[in-house]
Amino acid sequence: MIRTLFFCLLVLAGCSANPPLPGRPATAEISSFAFSGRLAVRQGETRHHLRIDWRHATARDEILLATPLGQGVAEIVRDSAGAHLLLADRRRFEADDWSTLSEQVFGFPLPLKASARWLLGDLTNTETWRIEVIERESTAPGALPSVIELERDDIAVRLKIDEWIEVK
């Protein structure tokens, strides 16, 4: 359960598009962002559905996971002190970085080192995972992703971004 929960927390269903934020810079220029969305995770016959709120800045990431009804499940923070996972039952896991933390808890590294780029649609460095942008918020050039799928071995994740939030 912890392994699946951690995976859901770190990685990331629905289908509507959101209009782009007015005056948004090109995705290559975005260094801070936040979004709210939904995760659907399948590993073999096991399926999980979660709400996700992710806030990213160059020096810090904060990810909150909740059940579809809003009950908090887990929180992960990445900053200069390392990566920290706090579960709803108050159990805490720590490591120097996301890769080490996911290896420790899940048994292999998750594609989080370059997550700030692939979440914005830049798929040039996706480590050992197949990551694909399925939908974007509009057809405009540089539109942000609204549906992203990740796959490795028998694990499939679908991230539906419901709302991109401007961060200043």
State the helix-helix crossing angle for 98-106 and 2-10, rounded to 10 degrees. 150
Residue 17 has a pLDDT of 37
Q: How does the average pLDDT of the chain come out, rounded?
A: 85
Out of 2-6, 25-29, 91-95, 122-126, least confident range:
2-6
With a CB cutoff of 8 Å and minimum separation 6, the contacts of 94 are: 82, 83, 84, 85, 101
Q: Which amino acid appears at position 84 of this protein? A: H
Residue 9 has a pLDDT of 47
Q: What is the DSSP letter of 104?
A: H
**pTM for the structure as a whole:** 0.82
Residue 141 has a pLDDT of 83
The mean pLDDT of 78-98, rounded to a whole number, is 95
Domain boundaries in the chain? Answer: 2-165
Q: Alpha helix locations (H) across the chain?
A: 2-10, 98-106, 115-118
pLDDT of 21-71, one tens digit each? 455 667 778 889 999 999 999 999 999 999 999 999 999 999 999 999 999
Residue 102 has a pLDDT of 87
Per-residue tokens: 64: 């909150």
Out of 17-21, 58-62, 141-145, least confident range:
17-21
The correct answer on CATH 2.30.40.10 for the domain covering 2-165 is no
**8 A C-beta contact, residue 19 and residue 146:** no
pLDDT at 10 over 60: no
User: Looking at per-residue confidence, does 146 or 24 come out higher?
Assistant: 146
Among residues 161, 121, 115, 168, the alpha carbon closest in space to that of 141 is found at 121
The mean pLDDT of 145-160, rounded to a whole number, is 94
pLDDT grade, residue 112 (50/70/90)? confident
